[in-house]
Structure formats: structure tokens, C-alpha cells
Amino acid sequence: MAQEDDVFVTTFGPLDKYVAANDNNPQPLDESGASTGFAVGGIVSGERRLVGESYNDLGVDHPQMFASRRFGDFMQVYSGRQFWPMDPKADEIHIEDIAHSLSLQCRYAGHCIKFYSVAEHSVLLAGWLLPRYGAEIALWGLLHDASEAYLVDVPRPLKPFLHGYKEAEARVMAAVAQRFGLALDMPPPVHEADDRIIADELVNLRPMAWHGRFDDPLGVRVQCWEPEHAEDEFLNTYVMLERQMGRVA
């Protein structure tokens, strides 16, 4: 099993590179590296791919025409689209936005020895789950923190005291589950693995006496990937799991 884990810790061997979805239109870059259109893009597999839509393409004059019909205000996400965190809709959730945001968010509110992203955490979890529970559970593992792309990674001790956060988190995760064809509730193996992986991640925290209560590690290896690498691994793992489930040709 240790050898098997090594294979998955190195992100499943060679993976096919992620290609932006068909609803994303490449846009040219100006000299500064920014898009000459409305869209803002991402770095996928070493090259910049720009995704997004202009308001004119949608047949409207101004984003406020959308905002007046939704609960709460919108946030601009990485791809240049709008997302209403208090009024989430499945068709407004995109894997590129999730991967990019999670690759730039550090676990443990940044109180690590080295930067360790939520994206890497999610890939390690998916890699451990895949050979034991199959692709669908592994995909749930990959996306179990997807709401944090829109609501940020809040430390566990703080969540119960943030009024409305858990409700907002549940609404976003319901939209994520609908968007990616997942069961609405987190499967027990994902919940268990998410708790156990803390024991593996303690190598990146200052040693403390209380660490002894985490004594059942998964056996994965934290590598502290750079954000760009973590983003690529997240996207490529997503494509691999979708193919295993027969969803991608």
C-alpha cells in the first residue's frame, strides 16, 4: 500500500493536461499580460488561457442589471465572471475559478512553516481516496473545500462564531454538488480522510504537545507546491477523475 500511496502522492503519474471548457473563449493579451477584452485568465499547464464573457455578449448594458435581481452583492471571480456568494447558482461555478483560488489560499490561516495550499490538500485527499473508494468519492474529496474559493478558508475554531457562515457554506456546496454531479452530503470517507490528513500535515507546523491526539495519518506526503503547480495538479486531477467516471471523452 505504501508504494501505491507514493504513486498517488505524485499526483497519479502522468496526467492529461487540463483544457479550458468549451464555454470559455480565449482572449488576446496586451503587452502587460492582461486581456484586451473583459475576460481575465489563468495559467494552465504552463500557458495562459483566458476565459470569460463580456456584458455585450450577454446582451446587457451594465452588471447592475443582474445585481438588482439577486440576493446580496456579487464578487468578481478569477475568470472575470460574477458570482453571488449569498445566492449561488450551479451554472455560475467553474472549475478554473475554484482551482486558481484554492491554489492561492494557505491552509491553517497561513500559520505553516511553508506555504501549503488548499489546492494541494485537496489533491492529496483525492489521491488517497481514489484507489480505496473510486472516482466519484475521490472527486468529492477534490472538491470538498470548493466553497472556500468563494467564502475563503476559515479556521475550524472560528466557523461556529461567524453568524451565517455555515449556512452560506452549505448553499455554495449544494451548488457545487449540482454543478459537478455529486451527492449533496459529504460522503463519510471524505469526512474521515479530511480529519485524518491533519496528522500528515503536522510536519508543516511547529511541534506541539497537542499534536499527539492526531495519531492516524493517511500516509500522504506534503510537498508545499508553488501555487501555479498546485493549480495545474488540481485541474489535471479533475480531468482524470471525470474521465474515469466516463464524463470526458
**Helices H / strands E in the chain, number of each:** 9, 4
Residue 89 binned pLDDT confidence (cut-offs 50, 70, 90): very high
Taking residues 164-170, report their average pLDDT. 96
* Residue 68 confidence class, pLDDT cut points 50, 70, 90: low
Domain of residue 38, CATH code? 1.10.3210.10
Q: What pLDDT, on a 0 to 100 scale, did the predictor assign at position 248? A: 74
Rounded alpha-carbon distances, angstroms, from residue 114 to 102, 108, 201: 16, 11, 11
| Span 123-134, average pLDDT | 99
Per-residue pLDDT band at 69 (split at 50, 70, 90): confident
The answer as to whether 28 is a domain residue is yes
β-bridge partners, 44:
47
User: What DSSP letter does each residue of 58-81 carry, written as one string?
Assistant: TT-S-THHHHTTSSS--EE-TTS-
Yes or no: say if 243 and 222 are a contact pair by the CB < 8 Å rule. Answer: no
The residue length of the chain stands at: 249
**Is the alpha carbon torsion for 182, 183, 184, 186 positive or negative?**
negative
Residue 162 domain flag: yes
pLDDT at 206 over 90: yes
Q: Is 186 inside a domain boundary?
A: yes
pLDDT at 140 over 50: yes
For the segment 187-199, the average pLDDT, to the nearest whole number, is 98
85 in a structural domain: yes
Do 114 and 107 meet the contact criterion of CB atoms below 8 Å apart?
no
Q: How confident is the model at residue 17 (pLDDT cuts 50, 70, 90)?
A: low
- Within a domain: residue 249? no
- At residue 107, the pLDDT reads 98
Is pLDDT above 90 for 116? yes
Average pLDDT over residues 29-52: 38
**44, 6 in Cβ contact below 8 A?**
no
Nearest alpha carbon to residue 38 among 25, 22, 47: 25
Give residue 32's domain range: 2-244
User: How many independent structural domains does the chain possess?
Assistant: 1
